[in-house]
Every structure is written in C-alpha cells, then in structure tokens.
C-alpha cells in the first residue's frame, strides 16, 4: 500500500490538500525541529523548485554529473560498472520519474508556493509564473525521454484522479508552450520575489529565460512547422520580434559554484572518484576540435603522457588524442596503459568553483535562431546568429578558466583568435542549407561540452549530428547497428496505471515499449 500511495502522490497529489505541507516532498522536519523555522514560505518552496531544475538536473557528484556525457560520447569513463557500461554502450532502460533530474513529485510544491505568497498580486504573479516555468521545464524533459506522458491530469491538487491518462506528445507540447506564454505575461506583470538562487528574484531575467526555453522547445518541433495548432513559425517570430530574450552570457540560466560545502563544482576532485585518472576525452570531441583548429582543445583536455615523454609541446594539437567511445574496453585500456589518450583538463578537477553549469545559454539561443532561419521558421541572417553563438561559446570557456598554463596550455582564446577561427575553412558559414545545419549542430555540441544533461544526445537524435560511432561489438542496444531512440516507460506505470500506459504504447509504438520506437516529435 505504501508503494501505491507514493506512486499516486507523484502523479496526482492524492495524499494532500493544496497546502503542500504533507506532499511527497514535505516539510515535517522543518515543522518539528527546534533549530529550524516553523513557517514554510513561498521563498522556501521556490528555492526547492529552482534547485529541482538546476542542481538536481545537473547532478551533484562526479558520476551523476557525467552519465549523460557518456551517452553523447563526449567522454569515456574507464571504470566498468552496470551504469557506466549502460551509458557508454547505449543501453537505455526504464526511466524513473522520481529520478533526481526528473523528480516529478517536486512539482507538488508549486501549489503551496502560490498559496503562501504575500497578499500582493504582483508578488503572486511571480510565483505563478515560476510554477509555469518549472512545470514546462520538467514536462519537456519527461516527454523527451519517452513520448506521451501524463500531463493534463498529472500533479492536480485536490483531485480524485487516481490513474492519470497519458496525453499525446503533441498535447503535451501545446500545454507547455502555453505555460511558457503565461510565464512571460506574468513575469512582465510581477515584482521581484524571494527564494531565487539563480537570478536573485529578478523577474525581468526570468522572463528572458522563459522565452529562451520556449525557443529551445520550438526548435525541437521543427518538423511540425506547418502544424496549425502548434504555430511554430508564428511563435518564433513573436518571441524574437516582441519579447525579451538573452542578450549576453550574463543572462545564462545556470548553476554557479563556490568553494563551500555542498556548493562545489560536481567534478571537483574532493570526493569525486572520477577524478582519479579514469575520465578521458573522446575522439569525437578531440578530432573535431583539431580539425577546426579550435583552441578549446587546450581547455577541454590534457596532452597525452606519451606525447610529453616524446617532447611534444603542450601547444601542439598532435599532443592530444581522444578515446574512440565505441571501442571495446580492452582496446581503450591498452591505449590508456600506453599513455596514448588525453584525460580531461585539470581545470574540471582542480577548481572547486569550476565553471557554471548552464541549462539555457546565450550561445545555444543563437544556434537555435540560426537553425530556425535556415529551416525557414524565422526571418533573419543565419550567419549572424551562428557567429554570435560561436563567440559566446568561446568567451564562456575563456571567461571561466583561470589564467593558468595547466588550464589553457598557453593557447588562450582571444577576440583576435575568435575572428580568425570564424574565417577558417571548416568553420566559416557554408552556403548550402544542409551543411549549415551540420555546422550549427556541431558548434552547439562543442559549446555544450559537459553542459545541459542529455541535450547533446537529443540533438544527435533529431539531426544526426555530429555522427556518433556505432560498433556492433559494443553497442548494447538491440539491434546493435543503431542508436536507441528513447527510454522505456517506468515499471510502476505498468504496475499501477497499466491501462493508460498500454494505451499510450499501442498508440505510439504498435504495442511494443521499445527503445527503437520513434516518438511523434521525431516524425516528419
């Protein structure tokens, strides 16, 4: 019975009234500890919700922080375990909607946050807007994993819906786009609020983030550009033409770290087993950086020990070599033993404040807009957006790297270098649309190195870029000659909401809950 109550609590808030105090994420300890406040505030609940889409999404320790980077082939982690093998070699299993980065039950706190807001319409508007933003962010992540999900009947306070239906993926996207429109409107009519660990309660900044999140969702809907309900083109044009969006890296929606307990960069060496010489750069990243003559090579990786022993300079691109992430582990181990592959740059391990972990960035926004122009979803100059994205990405890396030879290997990124880079033969914006799309997604991939969990995989899944190696000898997807396209639905759905999940599987995937199923958003 306890398991059943926990499940219902996650989706429909059955076990609580609207107050939020006795929801799955309750505050019993706060209410009973003599050392803590006895009053729950909107600010406290806002902090919890913002943490659920920032720190909990990013991950707070080394391995949790890196699993998605194994799936998107940015790194190779050389300690074998069931989890590292799964992400390294493409075995996607059943998603769990209670996992840290999904944490559906956290949404229960939205109702309480709004209810406890001060008696001011402008302040309440801010908390209602934040609730819409958090819901849109979470449900976007859910649907991108599996397809159809409970949405309209999920997380309904004071509801007698025990078994929420699965909305179609189109219905989910219509819903979250509408929520982000409401967030924009409400933040515009709101005053600054308490509990914000990202923007310090500045509604103007949150309004920008809500609009950029909508742009990110819209580019995933590029195949649906002519859908009369979704209005993808109209939404792009409205946001870019009349709403505030990011204007620089200072607007990024990100986690900023510091040298304090519980606030350090997730891959910092203290307590991080992955820092012990086991995390290597992939050949996908290294080879692309070398081909482009991209100085981020010297910020992302270290020279191989063999190259140093051979007296190659740390400024020489040939001193860097990545691991083929599709190779069998024995082949990789042999290269490691021979000191022939590059570890991650020391800046990820030696700096407790690290670099911020962004979930929405100015660079990404510009790449989205460049792609939208190329695909005919937006008027404008795709080259201008593309180059702005590259500059922002380069500056982000440079600005968050201390001036230490270990961290940039004396190959600093400067404005003059960026100008030269943009004119390079492999980087200068192409004329053919297909090549332009490839360039945009490749640059987004490089910009998102160790950033935005799972979205480099989502980008590969929807565009095919960059090309990721598939080795039938190591690929744990079935069949072994293709990458998986989705996770499976949670077992708890089959246990306690079986009719609804089976209807969703029948509707989308011909009755088979399979990792190779093509969800609606990926179909032309």
How does pLDDT run across 383-405, given as a tens digit for each residue?
A: 999 999 999 999 999 999 999 99
Opening angle at CA 377, ends 374 and 379, nearest 5: 75
* pTM for the predicted model, two decimal places: 0.93
Phi-psi region of 73 (alpha: psi -120 to 50; beta: other; left: phi over 0): left
How does the average pLDDT of the chain come out, rounded? 91
- Between 335 and 272, the more confident residue is 335
pLDDT of residue 157: 57
Decide if 274 contacts 415 (C-beta within 8 A): no
Decide if 323 contacts 281 (C-beta within 8 A): yes
User: To the nearest whole percent, how much of the chain has pLDDT over 90?
Assistant: 84
pLDDT of residue 143: 97
Nearest to 61 by CA among 350, 356, 263, 266: 266
pLDDT of residue 79: 83
Say if residue 169's pLDDT is above 50: yes
Say if residue 97's pLDDT is above 80: no
pLDDT of residue 2: 33
Q: Name the band, by pLDDT with cuts 50, 70 and 90, for residue 101.
A: low
In tens, the pLDDT along 203-248 reads 999 999 999 999 999 999 999 999 999 999 999 999 999 999 999 9
Residue 449 corresponds to which tokens in the numbers above? 């190195």
Tokens 């050389």 -> residue: 78
Phi, psi of 384 (to 5 degrees): -60, -45
Q: How far apart are CA 374 and CA 372, in angstroms?
A: 6
pLDDT of residue 277: 75
Which residue pairs from 462-469 have beta carbons closer than 8 angstroms and sit at least 24 positions apart in sequence? 462/220, 462/222, 462/521, 462/522, 463/437, 465/437, 465/438, 465/441, 466/284, 466/288, 466/441, 466/442, 468/72, 468/73, 468/284, 468/325, 468/326, 469/73, 469/284, 469/324, 469/325, 469/326
pLDDT of residue 37: 53
Say if residue 266's pLDDT is above 80: yes
* Of 273-282, 315-324, 402-411, the least confident: 273-282
- Give the mean model confidence (pLDDT) for residues 4-16: 39
DSSP character for 223? G
Q: How far apart are CA 218 and CA 223, in angstroms?
A: 10
């Amino acid at each position: 019975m306890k398991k059943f109550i926990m499940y219902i609590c996650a989706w429909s808030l059955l076990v609580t009234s609207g107050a939020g105090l006795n929801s799955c994420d309750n505050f019993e300890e706060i209410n009973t500890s003599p050392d803590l406040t006895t009053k729950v505030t909107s600010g406290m609940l806002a902090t919890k919700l913002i943490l659920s889409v920032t720190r909990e999404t990013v991950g707070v320790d080394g391995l949790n922080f890196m699993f998605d980077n194994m799936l998107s082939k940015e790194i190779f982690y050389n300690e074998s375990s069931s989890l590292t093998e799964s992400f390294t070699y493409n075995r996607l299993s059943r998603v769990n909607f209670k996992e840290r980065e999904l944490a559906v039950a956290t949404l229960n706190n939205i109702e309480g946050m709004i209810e406890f807001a001060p008696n001011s319409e402008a302040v309440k508007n801010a908390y209602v807007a934040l609730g819409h933003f958090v819901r849109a962010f979470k449900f976007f992540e859910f649907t991108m994993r599996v397809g159809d999900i409970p949405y309209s009947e999920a997380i309904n306070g004071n509801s007698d819906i025990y078994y929420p239906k699965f909305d179609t993926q189109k219905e989910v996207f219509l819903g979250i786009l509408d929520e982000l429109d409401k967030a924009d409107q409400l933040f515009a009519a709101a005053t600054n609020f308490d509990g914000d660990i990202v923007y310090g309660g500045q509604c103007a900044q949150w309004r920008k983030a809500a609009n950029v999140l909508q742009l990110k969702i819209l580019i995933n809907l590029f195949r649906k550009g002519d859908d009369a309900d979704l209005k993808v083109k109209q939404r792009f044009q409205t946001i870019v033409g009349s709403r505030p969006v990011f204007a620089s890296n200072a607007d990024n929606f990100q986690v900023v770290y510091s040298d304090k307990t519980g606030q350090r960069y997730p891959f910092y060496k203290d307590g991080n087993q992955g820092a012990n010489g086991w995390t290597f750069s992939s050949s996908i990243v290294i080879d692309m950086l070398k081909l482009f003559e991209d100085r981020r090579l010297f910020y992302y990786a270290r020279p191989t020990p063999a190259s140093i022993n051979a007296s190659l300079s740390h400024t020489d691109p040939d001193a860097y070599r990545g691991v083929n992430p599709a190779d069998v582990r024995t082949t990789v181990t042999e290269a490691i033993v021979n000191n022939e592959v590059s570890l991650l740059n020391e800046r990820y391990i030696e700096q407790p404040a690290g670099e911020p972990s962004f979930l929405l960035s100015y660079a990404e926004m510009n790449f989205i807009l460049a792609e939208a122009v190329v695909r005919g979803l937006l008027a404008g100059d795709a080259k201008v957006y593309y180059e702005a994205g590259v500059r922002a990405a380069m500056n982000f890396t440079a600005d968050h790297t201390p001036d230490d030879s270990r961290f940039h290997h004396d190959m600093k990124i400067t404005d003059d270098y960026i100008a030269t880079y943009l004119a390079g033969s492999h980087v200068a914006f192409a004329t053919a649309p297909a090549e332009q799309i490839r360039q945009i997604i490749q640059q987004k991939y490089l910009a998102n190195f160790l950033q935005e969990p799972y979205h480099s995989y989502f980008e590969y899944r929807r565009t095919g870029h960059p090309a990721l190696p598939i080795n039938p000898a190591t690929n744990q997807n079935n069949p072994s000659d293709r990458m998986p396209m989705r996770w499976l639905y949670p077992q708890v759905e089959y246990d306690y909401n079986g009719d609804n999940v089976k209807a969703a599987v029948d509707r989308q995937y011909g009755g088979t809950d399979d990792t190779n199923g093509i969800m609606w958003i990926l179909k032309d």
